[in-house]
């Protein structure tokens, strides 16, 4: 571990996305020919290289003339699980529709798994996220649905992610079949008190085949009373009341929002609730994509997440989600990049990440590309080649040669 006050100069950045609108030129606050100075975990200087005072730096990191963006902020993942559902995916691609009931397959596998196996799965997937540029990670429980299994799930999420969420009402477990009221009572009386010490957030799946409005509301109210922030899975598969519930409860975010009517859009536009779009889930379920343009044009704050889970979205690639958001949801490349960084931070009510500015956590993703537009323009290509999280180099692609993929005019400095 490096000394806390170590100073690192990140130099030779051809195109820096800061998300600091005060820099002018729009919400991305782009600086060309830029440098960033990091001290310990924080950014202490951002600006054009020409204004950089190099005296006193302990280390220089050369960006090779390429683009650097804020580390992605993933505000929606389900990594505490065992097993996988490739067969369900294959059947779906052959025409079988997705239904929430598939979650029970993962429920059984997760209950049977050891703590070590569950923690190992979270470690594996969180490393995948990190290698692809995600430096802030929210992680949900929700594949236990007993007090014991939710408590160990949320504890593992707490130990391995930045934000842990108790997804207490994900699917009605088989032993409560036909008795949702009894399940909700158990969640309120036993599960929330046992799990709240490990969680920052309470979440529910408000959907046909999952939990109804009144059930979801009772769980969220109990979570809020226990000091947890509120988030909702809503309007994923049907035009339900999830968005309405989220706005009424002052939720930080309502996630999926694939089926929205005018009242939903109006409610979100005048609320402090972020609409978190998870297009990889819609891609892998052939679900209807959200009407993202309508949300954005109405002034709704939009975040993008990958929603890694074994059922609907088994990807940890935020760049892939950016590409789908641009191609299929009609976000501009600028909107998609903002939603995957600053938008995710808003959805988690964090102001220390998702932006490159003085005092913020030094989280940077270095791209083997001249601008952030390439994240959508070159889908499926592993463009993230180095990741700095809280000032520390946490991932570096073995194959990367600084500046090799860039036009000849770009610099080819040495690395570290
Ligand atoms: O975010 N919508 C509910 N939860 C997950 C899916 C879980 C599963 O199918 O295992 C989601 O898509
Ligand atoms: Fe989800």
Q: What is the pLDDT of residues 71-80, one digit of tens each?
A: 999 999 999 9
Q: What is the pLDDT of residues 76-110, one digit of tens each?
A: 999 999 999 999 999 999 998 888 778 999 999 99
Rg (CA), the chain: 21
Q: What is the pLDDT of residue 98?
A: 85
Ligand 1 neighbours by CB, cut-off 6 Å: 78, 102-103, 106, 205, 233, 236, 281, 307, 309-313
d(CA 323, CA 369) in angstroms, rounded, equals 15
Q: What is the CA(207)–ligand 1 centre distance, in A? A: 11
Q: What is the CA(168)–ligand 2 centre distance, in A? A: 12
d(CA 225, CA 345) in angstroms, rounded, equals 24
Domains of the chain from N-terminus onward: 7-71+354-410 (2.30.40.10), 73-347 (3.20.20.140)
Q: Which ligand is nearest to the CA of 139?
A: 2
Question: Given pLDDT bands bounded at 50, 70 and 90, which one contains residue 397?
Answer: confident
Ligand 1 atom closest to Cα of 81? 10
Kindly report the protein residue whose alpha carbon is nearest to atom 9 of ligand 1: 311
Q: What is the pLDDT of residues 334-366, one digit of tens each?
A: 999 999 999 999 999 999 999 999 999 999 999
Q: What is the pLDDT of residue 211?
A: 97
Ligand 1 atom closest to Cα of 98? 9
Tokens of 117: 């196996």
Contacts of 251 (CB under 8 A, 6+ apart): 220, 230, 231, 232, 245, 273
User: Does an H or E element contain 277, and which?
Assistant: strand 274-277
pTM: 0.95
Q: What is the pLDDT of residues 230-265, one digit of tens each?
A: 999 999 999 999 999 999 999 999 999 999 999 999
From edge to edge, which strands make up the β-sheet containing 253-256? 72-74, 134-140, 163-169, 201-206, 229-234, 253-256, 274-277, 302-304
Largest Cα–Cα distance in the chain? 69
d(CA 128, CA 130) in angstroms, rounded, equals 5
């Amino acid at each position: 571990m490096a000394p806390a006050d170590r100073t690192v100069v990140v130099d030779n950045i051809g195109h820096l996305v800061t998300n600091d609108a005060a820099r002018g030129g729009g919400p991305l606050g782009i600086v060309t020919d830029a440098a960033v100075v990091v001290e310990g975990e924080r950014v202490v200087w951002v600006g054009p290289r020409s204004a950089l005072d190099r005296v006193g730096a302990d280390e220089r990191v050369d960006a090779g003339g390429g683009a650097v963006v804020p580390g992605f902020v993933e505000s929606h993942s389900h990594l505490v699980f065992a097993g996988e559902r490739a067969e369900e995916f294959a059947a779906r691609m052959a025409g079988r529709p997705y239904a929430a009931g598939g979650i029970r397959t993962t429920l059984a596998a997760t209950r049977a798994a050891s703590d070590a196996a569950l923690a190992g799965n979270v470690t594996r997937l969180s490393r995948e996220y990190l290698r692809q540029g995600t430096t802030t990670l929210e992680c949900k429980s929700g594949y236990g649905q007993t007090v014991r299994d939710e408590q160990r799930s949320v504890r593992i999420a707490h130990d391995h992610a930045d934000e842990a969420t108790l997804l207490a009402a994900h699917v009605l477990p088989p032993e409560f079949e036909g008795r949702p009221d009894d399940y909700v009572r158990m969640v309120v009386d036993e599960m929330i008190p046992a799990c709240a010490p490990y969680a920052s957030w309470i979440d529910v799946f408000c959907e046909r085949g999952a939990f109804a409005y009144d059930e979801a509301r009772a769980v969220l109210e109990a979570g809020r009373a226990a000091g947890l922030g509120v988030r909702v899975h809503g309007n994923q598969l049907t035009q339900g009341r999830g968005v309405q519930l989220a706005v009424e409860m002052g939720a930080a975010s309502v996630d999926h929002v694939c089926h929205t009517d005018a009242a939903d859009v109006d409610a979100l536009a005048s609320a402090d609730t972020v609409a978190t779009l998870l297009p990889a889930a819609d891609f892998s379920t052939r679900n209807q994509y959200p009407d993202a343009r309508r949300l954005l044009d109405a002034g709704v704050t939009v975040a993008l997440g990958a929603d890694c889970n074994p059922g609907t979205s088994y990807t940890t690639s935020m760049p892939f989600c950016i590409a789908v958001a641009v191609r299929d949801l009609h976000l501009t490349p600028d909107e998609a990049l903002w939603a995957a960084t600053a938008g995710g931070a808003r959805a988690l009510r964090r102001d220390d990440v998702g932006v490159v500015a003085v005092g913020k956590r030094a989280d940077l993703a270095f791209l083997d590309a001249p601008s952030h537009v390439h994240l959508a323009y070159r889908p499926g290509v592993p463009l993230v080649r180095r990741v700095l999280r809280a000032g520390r180099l946490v991932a570096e692609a073995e194959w990367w040669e600084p500046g090799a993929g860039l036009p000849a005019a770009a610099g080819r400095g040495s690395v570290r």
